[in-house]
Amino acid sequence: MEFLSPDRALLTDITALPGAAEAASVIVAAIARGSRIVIHGDFDADGITASALLKIGLERFGADAAFHIPDRFEDGYGLSASGVEACAAMGAGLVITVDCGMTALHETAELMEMGITVVITDHHQPSGELPDAAALVSPVLAPENSPHSDLSGAGVAWMVLSEIGRLLERKPEEVEDLLQLAAVGTVCDVVNLTGSNRIIVREGLRLLRSRPLPGLSALASSASVELSGTNSSDLAFFLGPRLNACGRVGHASEAVNLLLAADIESAGELVLPVVRNDRKRRKFDSAVREAAMAMAGRLDSPRCLILDGEGWHKGVVGITASRLADRFGVPSVLLSVENGVAQGSARSVPGISIHALLEQIQEESGILDRFGGHPMAAGLSLDSSLVPELRSRLEALLIGPEWDGLLGPVLYVDGRLEGGWMTLETVRALERLEPFGEGNREPIWIARGVRALNWRAVGKRKDHLSCLLRIGERDIRAIGFGLAGRQSLFGGPLDIAFTLAEDRWRGDGSVQLQLKDVRRQRPVERS
């Protein structure tokens, strides 16, 4: 019952988040002094939402707050020398990092020497020594059994903001609506949706459905998402990518400005550059994806993928790395090569920490110019001539039989679902398990002996599959994204893997299967 009805009070347990109480005290003192507070964020959806929610919240508490987001290509990740210069130029008396700062030892020291107080809030892995800040908030430093150990950058920011409100004796309702932003950042950063994260996303979705912030409302409209029925998948596949697009092909400040919109009219204007960036991102993404998938398809049973290409847009390589990891079931690294430097992103599969692997490689060889991240995702750069060595070292680390059960494309199913159970009542029962995401995957079902009554390829590229299936005595519609190539199987009985959902497009209370995989029917193995 605790999982189905999590206790909201868990979010008030600030003692379980190392450094949060100290950080809140430092920030409250800065507000009292009238110091200018500069929020230094990151350029992905997690950092964008964390920056926006903290700025909105601090201003509600009477603070003089501003934000700075580095440029992905000019400045690189995190608090850098250019970030120090920018924060100082903005007249910062206090700098708060969100979703970054854990490895910024030199930069933190430089700001403190300039008389600028630094509070670091981050959820990434440290590089050993911790920066000497006035306060450092990190779920990574929490005990393993802490409910806050998997918080995203936006989740950390909201927890600190909530504690600031408590110290200032403000009503919790003053920042409750900002859980919407924390929910978006949490889902998009692919952290486990358990413990505090489950509550943040659950509560954030509830608020998003009933009284959305203007910026999120405009963002959803641009993606044709109906907020009254939105779920975690909508955040992951429609809202999040549009925010990320700004940091990838434009500037992340455009996304922050949208989320800061005070009313729906201004949000309607501020969403336009976000939409333009998303269109550009799709174009660049398509080119990189086609090239990388072709290269990977020529490899024979790889245990990891390290692919590089001249001219690949650096802003979209992380997207394709995620697709490669999903498609081939192996840790995947995608690198854009320019002027002798290979820079890119790594994505992993459950059970294998790509950050730990890169850390070991760096300790043994020192070939990486920089790297950072967390178990499922990392960024890195190195001399392009060293890419073959990186590939051979990563392959060597994954060669042992202990990895066999974690490598390769695997689709895990939760059970068999008969046609009679494919009802709206079943959909509503499954919705009680939401929000779905990393650490709490949506149940996948299997049905055997299915007959396809009709089918066709749909979508702009005709790569999706729409069909009508007969399951037992029931006819039911299904959609399979990216499965148009499976039409050749539809001449006989099938085994299908799917999730169950309400058909929101038709809006008539019917259900629809969302196909995950299709194969010709196989005989049931009996022991």
Per-residue model confidence as pLDDT tens digits over 479-506: 999 899 999 999 899 999 999 998 877 6
What distances in angstroms separate CA 269 from CA 253, 275, 282, one per listed residue? 15, 11, 21
Pick 415-520's CATH classification: 3.40.1640.10, 3.30.465.10, 3.40.50.300, 2.40.50.460.
2.40.50.460
Could you read off the pLDDT of 125-156 as tens digits, one per residue?
Answer: 887 899 999 999 999 999 888 889 999 999 99
Percentage of residues in the chain having pLDDT higher than 70:
98
Q: In whole numbers, what is the pLDDT of the chain averaged over residues? A: 93
Could you read off the pLDDT of 402-440 as tens digits, one per residue?
Answer: 999 899 888 889 999 988 899 999 999 999 999 998 888
Residue located via tokens 């950390």: 156
**C-alpha torsion 28→30→34→35, nearest 10:** -150
Number of helices and strands in the chain (H, E) = 17, 16
Spell out the domain ranges in the chain: 8-276, 300-406, 415-520
CATH code for the domain defined by 300-406: 3.10.310.30
> Which of 238, 222, 178, 271 is CA-nearest to residue 230?
238
> Which of 322, 313, 232, 245 is CA-nearest to residue 276?
245
| pLDDT given at position 204 | 97
Q: Give the three-state DSSP class for 71.
A: coil
> CA 161, 167, 168: angle at the middle one, nearest 5?
90
Could you read off the pLDDT of 444-475 as tens digits, one per residue?
Answer: 999 999 999 999 999 988 989 999 999 988 89
| pLDDT given at position 358 | 96
The distance of Cα 183 from the centroid of its chain, to the nearest Å, equals 10
* Rounded average pLDDT over 302-318: 93
* Rounded average pLDDT over 238-246: 95
**Which of 122-131, 158-167, 172-181 has the weakest average pLDDT?**
122-131
* Rounded average pLDDT over 214-220: 98
CATH code for the domain defined by 8-276: 3.90.1640.30
Could you read off the pLDDT of 347-390 as tens digits, one per residue?
Answer: 999 889 999 999 999 999 999 998 888 888 899 999 999 999 99
> Hey, how many other C-beta atoms are within 10 angstroms of the C-beta on 9?
8
Angle (deg, nearest 10), helices 179-188 and 214-222? 40
| pLDDT given at position 39 | 98
| pLDDT given at position 443 | 95
Structure tokens at 191: 């952290």
